[in-house]
Amino acid sequence: MAMPVAGVPTETPAGQLPAGRALARVARAVRSSRKATVGTVLMVIFILIALFPGVIAHDSPTVDAYAPRLPVSTAHLLGTNAYGQDLFSQVVWGTRNVLIIAFAVGVAATGIAVLIGVAAAYLGGWWDNVLNVLTDVLLVIPLLPLLIIIAAYAHGASTGVMITAITVTSWSYTARQLRSQALTLRSRDFLEAARVRGERRLYVIVMEVIPTMTSLIVAAFLTNALYAVLLSSSLQFIGLGDPNTVSWGTTLYWAQNNAALQTGEPLWAIAPGACIAVLGAAFALLNYAFDEIGNPALRPVRKVRQKKGAK
Amino acid sequence: MLEVSGLSVDYVLDRGSVRAVDDVSFTLERGEFLGIVGESGCGKSTLLFAVAQLLAPPAVVADGSVKFEGTNLVGLTDGQLSAIRWRDMSVVMQSAMNALNPVKSIGAQFKDAMRAHGKPSKQEIAARSAEVLRMVGIDPVHLKSYPHQLSGGMRQRSMIAMAMLFTPDLVIMDEPTSALDVVAQRSLMVQIKELQLSYGFAVIFVTHDMSLISHFSDRLMVMYAGQVDELGATRAVFDNPLHPYTQGLLEAFPSIHGPRVPLKGIPGNPPDMARLPAGCRFHTRCPLAVERCSQVAPDLYQIDDALVRCLRRQDGSLSSPQQGSLSR
Amino acid sequence: MTELLRTEHLTRHFKIGGMLSRRMLHAVDDVNFTIGEREIVALAGESGSGKSTIARVLARIYKPTAGEIYFQGNPVSRIRSRPDALRYSGLVPMVFQDPFASMNPVLRVQHGVLRSLKLHRPELSGQQRAEEAARVFEAVGLGADMLERFPYELSGGQRQRVGFAQALAMRPKLILADEPVSMLDVSIRIGLLNLMAELRDKTGVSVLYITHDIASARYVADRLIVMYAGQIAETGPVDDVLANPRHPYTQLLLSAVPDPRAPMSTAGEADRGEPPKVIDPTPGCRFRYRCPLAIDTCAQVTPVLAELLPGHDAACHVAQSARGGAEQVKAFT
| Confidence at residue A305, expressed as pLDDT on a 0 to 100 scale | 43
CB contact under 8 A, C190 and B249: no
Residue C119: list chain A partners with CB under 8 A.
197-199
For residue C236, is pLDDT > 60?
Answer: yes
Question: How is the beta sheet containing B202-207 ordered, strand by strand?
Answer: B89-92, B170-174, B202-207, B33-37, B219-224, B227-233, B306-308, B301-303
Question: pLDDT band at C216, cuts 50/70/90?
Answer: very high
For residue C265, is pLDDT > 80?
Answer: no
For residue A60, is pLDDT > 90?
Answer: no
Least trusted range by pLDDT, from A56-60, A188-192, C33-37, C41-45: A56-60
CB contact under 8 A, C187 and B252: yes
**Domain boundary assignment for chain A:** 46-68+90-298
What is the least distance, in Å, from the CA of A196 to any CA of chain C?
6
Q: At what angle do helices C126-139 and C110-120 cross, to 10 degrees?
A: 120
Question: pLDDT band at A293, cuts 50/70/90?
Answer: low
What is the least distance, in Å, from the CA of A207 to any CA of chain C?
9
The residue of chain B with its CA nearest to that of A7 is B272
Which of B13, B57, B271 is opposite residue A8, by nearest beta carbon? B13
Coil, helix or strand at residue C284: coil
pLDDT tens profile B51-60:
988 888 888 8
For residue C247, is pLDDT > 50?
Answer: yes
C-alpha to C-alpha distance for C126 and C85, rounded to whole angstroms: 24
Question: pLDDT band at A298, cuts 50/70/90?
Answer: low
Residue A11: list chain C partners with CB under 8 A.
105, 152
Q: What domains sit in chain B, N to C, each tagged with a CATH number?
A: 2-217 (3.40.50.300), 224-314 (no CATH)
| Whether C163 contacts C169, CB under 8 Å | no
What does the pLDDT average to over C76-95?
Answer: 92
CB contact under 8 A, A6 and B271: yes
CB contact under 8 A, A197 and C93: yes
Distances (CA, A) of B134 to B161, B163, B218: 9, 13, 26
Question: pLDDT band at A10, cuts 50/70/90?
Answer: very low
Q: At what angle do helices C110-120 and C156-169 cross, to 10 degrees?
A: 10
Size of interface B-C (CB pairs under 8 A): 125
Which among A103, A123, A119 has a CA at the least distance from the CA of A47? Answer: A103
- Yes or no: domain A46-68+90-298 corresponds to CATH 1.10.3720.10: yes
ipTM: 0.85
Residues of C with CB under 8 A from a CB of B: 46-47, 155-158, 185-191, 193-194, 212-216, 218-219, 239, 242, 252-254, 256-264, 268-275
Least trusted range by pLDDT, from A158-162, C93-97, C240-244: A158-162
Question: pLDDT band at B201, cuts 50/70/90?
Answer: very high
| Confidence at residue A15, expressed as pLDDT on a 0 to 100 scale | 37
C-alpha to C-alpha distance for B28 and B26, rounded to whole angstroms: 7
Residue A298: list chain B partners with CB under 8 A.
none
Question: pLDDT band at A13, cuts 50/70/90?
Answer: very low
| Confidence at residue A74, expressed as pLDDT on a 0 to 100 scale | 75
| Confidence at residue A155, expressed as pLDDT on a 0 to 100 scale | 66
| Whether C116 contacts C170, CB under 8 Å | yes
More confident residue, A42 or A122: A42
CB contact under 8 A, A196 and C108: no
CB contact under 8 A, C257 and B182: yes
| Confidence at residue C227, expressed as pLDDT on a 0 to 100 scale | 94
For residue A307, is pLDDT > 50?
Answer: no
Question: pLDDT band at C323, cuts 50/70/90?
Answer: low
pTM: 0.82
C-alpha to C-alpha distance for A287 and A289, rounded to whole angstroms: 5
Distances (CA, A) of A169 to A110, A118, A175, B144, C77: 12, 18, 11, 46, 46
For residue A11, is pLDDT > 60?
Answer: no
Distances (CA, A) of B305 to B35, B206, B301: 16, 21, 10
Coil, helix or strand at residue C16: strand
For residue C278, is pLDDT > 70?
Answer: yes
What does the pLDDT average to over B77-93?
Answer: 84
Residues of B with CB under 8 A from a CB of A: 5-6, 11-14, 18, 20, 40-41, 43, 45-46, 49, 56-65, 67, 72, 74-75, 225, 270-275
Question: pLDDT band at B326, cuts 50/70/90?
Answer: very low
Instruction: For chain B, give the percent of residues with pLDDT over 70.
Output: 97
Question: How is the beta sheet containing B59-68 ordered, strand by strand?
Answer: B16-28, B2-13, B59-68, B71-72
CB contact under 8 A, C273 and B211: no
| Confidence at residue C71, expressed as pLDDT on a 0 to 100 scale | 94
What is the least distance, in Å, from the CA of C122 to any CA of chain B?
35
| Confidence at residue C65, expressed as pLDDT on a 0 to 100 scale | 93
Residues of B with CB under 8 A from a CB of C: 39-40, 137, 151-154, 180-187, 190, 208-212, 214-215, 238, 248-250, 252-258, 260, 262-267, 269-270
C-alpha to C-alpha distance for A310 and A305, rounded to whole angstroms: 15
pLDDT tens profile C103-157:
888 888 999 999 999 999 999 999 999 999 999 999 998 988 889 988 888 888 8
Whether A2 contacts chain B with CB within 8 A: no
CB contact under 8 A, C108 and A16: yes
What is the least distance, in Å, from the CA of A303 to any CA of chain B?
9
Give chains near B: 3+ CB pairs under 8 A: A, C
What does the pLDDT average to over B109-126?
Answer: 88
Best of C104, C115, C162, C208 to substitute, by most chain A Cβ atoms within 10 angstroms, is C104
| Confidence at residue A69, expressed as pLDDT on a 0 to 100 scale | 75
What does the pLDDT average to over C227-251?
Answer: 92
CB contact under 8 A, B269 and C188: yes
Give chains near C: 3+ CB pairs under 8 A: A, B
What does the pLDDT average to over B254-281?
Answer: 84
| Confidence at residue C324, expressed as pLDDT on a 0 to 100 scale | 59
The residue of chain B with its CA nearest to that of C251 is B183
Question: pLDDT band at A310, cuts 50/70/90?
Answer: very low
Range C3-93+172-244: architecture per CATH = 3-Layer(aba) Sandwich (3.40)
| Whether A255 contacts A264, CB under 8 Å | no
Which of C86, C101, C115 is opposite residue A188, by nearest beta carbon? C101
C-alpha to C-alpha distance for A185 and C156, rounded to whole angstroms: 20
**Domain boundary assignment for chain C:** 3-93+172-244
| Whether C319 contacts C235, CB under 8 Å | no
For residue A229, is pLDDT > 60?
Answer: yes
| Whether C4 contacts C35, CB under 8 Å | yes
CB contact under 8 A, A311 and B65: yes
For residue B71, is pLDDT > 60?
Answer: yes
Which among A220, A299, A221 has a CA at the least distance from the CA of A12? Answer: A299
- The top-scoring range by mean pLDDT among A123-132, A226-235, C323-332 is A226-235
| Whether B295 contacts B278, CB under 8 Å | yes
SS3 track for chain B: CEEEEEEEEEEEECCEEEEEEEEEEEEECCCCEEEEECCCCCCHHHHHHHHCCCCCCCEEEEEEEEEECCEECCCCCHHHHHHHECCCEEEECCCHHHHCCCCCCHHHHHHHHHHHCCCCCHHHHHHHHHHHHHHCCCCHHHHHCCHHHCCHHHHHHHHHHHHCCCCCCEEEEECCCCCCCHHHHHHHHHHHHHHHHHHCCEEEEEECCHHHHCCCCCEEEEEECCEEEEEEEHHHHHHCCCCHHHHHHHHCCCCCCCCCCCCCCCCCCCCCCCCCCCCCCCHHHCCCCCHHHHCCCCCCEEECCEEECCHHHHCCCCCCCCCCCCCC
CB contact under 8 A, A306 and B5: no
| Confidence at residue A123, expressed as pLDDT on a 0 to 100 scale | 80
What does the pLDDT average to over A65-77?
Answer: 75
pLDDT tens profile A122-159:
887 888 888 888 888 888 888 778 777 776 677 666 78
Whether A6 contacts chain B with CB within 8 A: yes
For residue A113, is pLDDT > 60?
Answer: yes
Name the average pLDDT for chain C.
89
CB contact under 8 A, B248 and C263: no
Best of C86, C91, C106 to substitute, by most chain A Cβ atoms within 10 angstroms, is C106
What does the pLDDT average to over C228-234?
Answer: 93
CB contact under 8 A, C219 and B185: no
| Confidence at residue A191, expressed as pLDDT on a 0 to 100 scale | 86
Question: pLDDT band at C166, cuts 50/70/90?
Answer: very high
| Whether A87 contacts A258, CB under 8 Å | no
